[in-house]
Structure 1
Amino acid sequence: MGQLCGRCMQLLRDFTGFVQRMSSDLVQGIKECLTLISKCSCLKQNSSKNRQLYKPILQPHERVTAQEFLQHIETDFEMSPLGKDPLEALRTLSFSENLGLQQSAALYYLHMSQHMNIPLPVEHLEPFYALLRSADLEVQQMSSLSLVNFLLEGNIDKELIVQMGLLEPILDLLESEDPTVQCNSCACIMTLAVSESNREAIGAARGVTPLLSLANSYDPRVQQNAVGAILNLTQSEKIQQVLCKEGALPVLAFLLESPDSEVQYYSCAALSNMAANVQHHKALLRPSDRFLLRKLICLLSSSVDKQVSSQACVCLRNLATSVDIQAEMVAENVLPKLCSLLASGSEDVRRASIALLWILSQHPPNQRITESCCVEGLLQTMLLTDTQEDSLRYVTSCLAELAKQEGTMLHMVQWMDEPLTKCLMRLAGQLEHPEPSFHAASIIQHMISHEKMMLLWKHHIGEIQAYLKNFLTHQEVRFQQLGISTFCRLRADPDFSLAFRKSQMAKLLEQVRQQTEETQELLRAAMCHEDS
């Protein structure tokens, strides 16, 4: 730009002076206006009210109540913490606009929650509504923590919390920016959600969305309680639908990678509950992404928490409803990890791994089980498993199913020894546990033709005859048929044939035959009568 001439420079100086004079007059006018407004009586009254709103004065009755309440805390707390007078004082302090008084009430409840071992009367729940909605952060922290303590100790009826209208302020606290308040409110929801009616109420109040948000919290306490609350909510099929709609599945799946074993367990258990419902399998196992399947199998590793391993097994078992999914599990090398879990010192882990192996053994295409060390692991587990345990039924059922395959049966024979032979005999003879007894006898029947096994069986001719007699006279036809089949196979051996003749087993068989013929005649007569 070129240099201005003298005339233009003078015009600019004149313009600047004009603006300065105008600005000065404008500022002065604004100051005068504000001064006049500030001197008006109406503004003084309003400002007084505003100051009172934000810094409430101590009302006379509140001052008296606070003094009496302080005296009660100092002298009578241990004798009557739940008396009528303390309750009235708590109501006054809790609903006060003075935050200091609210803090006193919240502190009193916190103290009670840490020392009481009796139920909290329903009347004492009313002040919680005001305390949970307090504008003071410390009041929110203390009142929510005391509520958690009362719930955990069983001092408050969980359904009553919802009935008294406290669910709404608790859910509102989930939106707090303070981690302590978030942690406490999540713990409240987690505890309340053990009740079916409460789960429905939480879902209806749209409590799922904030919990899912807090499940991604950077604070480990908040995350643990949020995922724990989601776990309890998954016990409701109705809430499961809401969780799926709100996008809970990918959140829970990615939480399996959490470094926190408690978060891993809660998320894995929640997915197990979801996987128990077949309608969620499509969403859980997206064809283009087997992230969940691979992660669950990874969690079977013995390096992770045993409870997590057990829950991962349960989830995989719930997902293994189709041959295709089972084949994918086997292809992802699930069997070696299950072999390791069979030798675990944890009963829960062994039970869960056995249950998954049982499902995999039901389908011949999954017979890579034979090539793994799972057969040996199952046989050894049978020695360690107590007769009373449900897992024994899975162990014997799994081995009985595997023994039907010639290749697997030969593999089993290789591992059979005297302790395992005695175990099978003992189980077959314990008819008070019918399922393990039947499965053990079935394993024996499939192994009879092998030379090694015949040598082992001959040391137990007496035990074999004892359980066969029980089977032949059993009320269930399947036991009778298995007994007859086993008898026919063993009778081909001279030693067994001689023992059977001496024990009059043939006579017992004849009785069974006669009973069978009589039954058949009765059936024919019944059918003829039906036709006529």
Structure 2
Amino acid sequence: MASDHCDSCSRSLRDFAERLRRVWGEFEYKLKEVFRGIVQCTCFGNAPERGTAQALSSLQLMYDDKIPVFNQRSLQALNRLAASQNADLQMTAAIYYSHISHHLNYPLPDAFLVPVMALLLSPDLDVQKTTSFTLVNLLVKNNVCKESVIEMGMLVPLLELFQSGDPTAQCHSSACVAMLASSELSRHAILVDGIIPLLALAKSYDPAVQQKAAWALLHLTQSDCSRRIICQAGAIPVLVLLLQCSNSEVQFYSCTALCNIAAIREHHPELLSIGAHLSKSLLTLMSSSVQKNSAQACRCLQSLSKNVWVQEQLMDCSCVLSLKALLKSLNAAWIESALTLMCTLSAHPPNCDILINEGLLREIGQLLHHPRSNSVLISLSCKIITDLCGACTDEQAVTESQCLSGLLRVLLSPSLSDETLLHVTLCLHHLMTWDGLRTKLSSSVTPEQVWRLVELSGQMRNSQLSYNSAAIIHMFKLTEDFLPLLRPHYSAVSKYLLLFLKTRDVKFQQLGISTIVKLKNDGDFSTVMTNGELEARLWNIHAQTEEMRQLLQMFQPPFPSSGQLFH
């Protein structure tokens, strides 16, 4: 059965199940003797305890088989023990259910949930703790249906265990509630009765209880309706408080819950009403050595940073250092989180000088040279470079950053989509408007990169990509370093120039004519062009243009009346 949980939650569940197996191993070898000893005791030899003795005998036989047997006899035995007023007998049934949860590899029949409900209602706290622990294991392994657990009314005793004051009972019951909250159908029932007790548990001094409560709150932020309800119940201040917990899992759950809340703009006023405390806590978490927490804090800040006031706080608190640390991560998703936040910050011009002075361009240049870069990371990097270079005039910073060589490098990647290539060529074209960068590029470009630009100029599947690539070629300085790289491709160049001249888009025609004018002084290009279709097309455009000029000279438009001027 497919899991409803993220990778982190799945790891936590596997760890929990492993601990359960270790706990079970410590007393499993004793259980058989316990059953036999109780059954053989003379206190069960007389009525009315005879039925209970038979029930115990049935359970002993079931246990001897190792594999749980679900038939009417075993169900009657468990029902009889669970309904007993004797806490020891109830504990016997609770322990057997623990045995079931350990060995069961298929769904537990719904009828066998009825004794579990009775055991949860036991007045004995140890019975309740054992049963709730068993229920967690059954839920983790998908041996019971979450909706069936809710329909049978088990949520009420589980929530009552929140008030027990026993950390173990609270931990087990909140883990059950967290598992139930992962189901959309069960979530509403928990929101009605469980949100206030959960918020109280989240402020517990016991780390394990806090962790399970934060886990449950996270699941309750997975839909718009439940987010609204828990925010109205006062969850946001509690979640912000949990960001400062020393337990990294609690930090992750609370930060992820805040991410889910921050994804909806209507909750931003309440989040921002906390003041600088939230942004400072997230910034602190962004510097965490636990990188999944750093990345999650970054995502949350990115959602909030659409507010200029939040951006100012981030820049004042030197957020760039933490962002640069995330860029060195080996996890592409975490790098993407950092770049996404940087995109938001770089789009606000007052931030750009600070970002450049902090060496952000150098980090982006290094990232473009790294083999782990993918289409998303490259597109985000191009946007940041364009924003930063558009807001400053420091060519030296760009030159030293290796952004130019990085962009040319990724241009050769065979796996990039047209959309990503569009970002790369647009960024390169923007940088080449600076004379110093154009000179550097003209002397450092490689034969493979020149051919790639020619190749992209001639493709017709994406006209804007074709235009960007041809515009870059046009902007190169025709130096002794560059011309020998372009000359072998003059035939391909003439073909895309011919396509440009044939299009009805004036922008393409102008770029084509401008490129021809620039290259015509090179003898090799003139040879390719002479007496060819390109030259014929150029003369045809010249004739059409001259004819249009003459017609316009013959036309004398009347001056508009005063009424037309102010219409």
**TM-score category of the 2 structures, normalised to the smaller one:** 0.7 to 0.9
Displacement of 1:408 after TM fit? 5.7
- Select the residue among 288, 304, 310 that pairs with 1:319: 304
- Select the residue among 166, 169, 176 that pairs with 2:164: 176
Distance in 2, Cα, partners of 1:434 & 1:447: 20
Q: Is 1:435 aligned to residue 419 of structure 2?
A: yes
Displacement of 1:472 after TM fit? 4.3
The corresponding residue for 2:346 is 361
The corresponding residue for 1:249 is 236
User: 3-state DSSP class of the match of 2:369?
Assistant: helix
Unaligned 5+ segments in structure 2 are 1-45, 509-567
User: 3-state DSSP class of the match of 1:384?
Assistant: coil
Distance in 2, Cα, partners of 1:294 & 1:408: 31
Q: Structure 1's 502 and 380: CA in aligned 2 closer, same or farther, altered over 3 A?
A: closer
The corresponding residue for 2:266 is 279
Q: Structure 1's 486 and 105: CA in aligned 2 closer, same or farther, altered over 3 A?
A: same
Q: Is 1:65 aligned to residue 65 of structure 2?
A: no
Report the AA paired with residue 52 of structure 2. Answer: R
Q: Deviations over 1:106-129 (max 9, x none)?
A: 110012212322222222212111
Whose Rg is larger? 1
Question: Pairwise mapping of residues 12-161 of structure 1 onto structure 2 (< 5 A)?
Answer: 59-60=48-49, 62-73=51-62, 75-76=64-65, 78-161=66-149
Report the AA paired with residue 132 of structure 1. Answer: L
Distance in 2, Cα, partners of 1:111 & 1:236: 36
Report the AA paired with residue 468 of structure 2. Answer: L
Distance in 2, Cα, partners of 1:421 & 1:102: 73
Query: C-alpha root-mean-square deviation of aligned residues, in Å?
Result: 2.8
Q: Is 1:270 aligned to residue 257 of structure 2?
A: yes
The corresponding residue for 1:224 is 211
Q: Structure 1's 469 and 225: CA in aligned 2 closer, same or farther, altered over 3 A?
A: same
Q: Structure 1's 200 and 165: CA in aligned 2 closer, same or farther, altered over 3 A?
A: same
- Select the residue among 388, 400, 420 that pairs with 1:414: 400
- Kept after mapping to 2: 8 A contact 1:240/1:274: yes
User: 3-state DSSP class of the match of 1:407?
Assistant: coil
User: 3-state DSSP class of the match of 1:270?
Assistant: helix
Report how many residues are paired.
Answer: 459
The corresponding residue for 1:292 is 278
Distance in 1, Cα, partners of 2:110 & 2:279: 47
Displacement of 1:224 after TM fit? 0.7
The corresponding residue for 2:359 is 373
- Kept after mapping to 2: 8 A contact 1:402/1:408: no
Alignment identity in percent?
32
User: 3-state DSSP class of the match of 2:503?
Assistant: helix
The corresponding residue for 1:36 is none
- Kept after mapping to 2: 8 A contact 1:472/1:480: yes
Q: Is 1:426 aligned to residue 400 of structure 2?
A: no
Q: Structure 1's 121 and 391: CA in aligned 2 closer, same or farther, altered over 3 A?
A: farther
- Kept after mapping to 2: 8 A contact 1:429/1:467: no
Unaligned 5+ segments in structure 1 are 1-56, 521-532
- Kept after mapping to 1: 8 A contact 2:98/2:131: yes
Displacement of 1:493 after TM fit? 4.5
- Select the residue among 315, 325, 340 that pairs with 1:340: 325
Q: Structure 1's 514 and 371: CA in aligned 2 closer, same or farther, altered over 3 A?
A: same
- Select the residue among 179, 197, 207 that pairs with 1:210: 197
Displacement of 1:261 after TM fit? 1.6
Displacement of 1:327 after TM fit? 2.7
- Kept after mapping to 1: 8 A contact 2:202/2:214: yes
The corresponding residue for 2:10 is none
Distance in 1, Cα, partners of 2:388 & 2:205: 48
- Kept after mapping to 2: 8 A contact 1:471/1:479: yes
| Alignment TM-score, normalising by the size of structure 1 | 0.79
Q: Deviations over 1:58-112 (max 9, x none)?
A: 8446324334234324533x14433432222112211223322211111100122
Distance in 2, Cα, partners of 1:256 & 1:475: 49
Q: Structure 1's 327 and 74: CA in aligned 2 closer, same or farther, altered over 3 A?
A: closer
- Kept after mapping to 2: 8 A contact 1:429/1:463: no
| Alignment TM-score, normalising by the size of structure 2 | 0.74
Distance in 2, Cα, partners of 1:58 & 1:234: 54
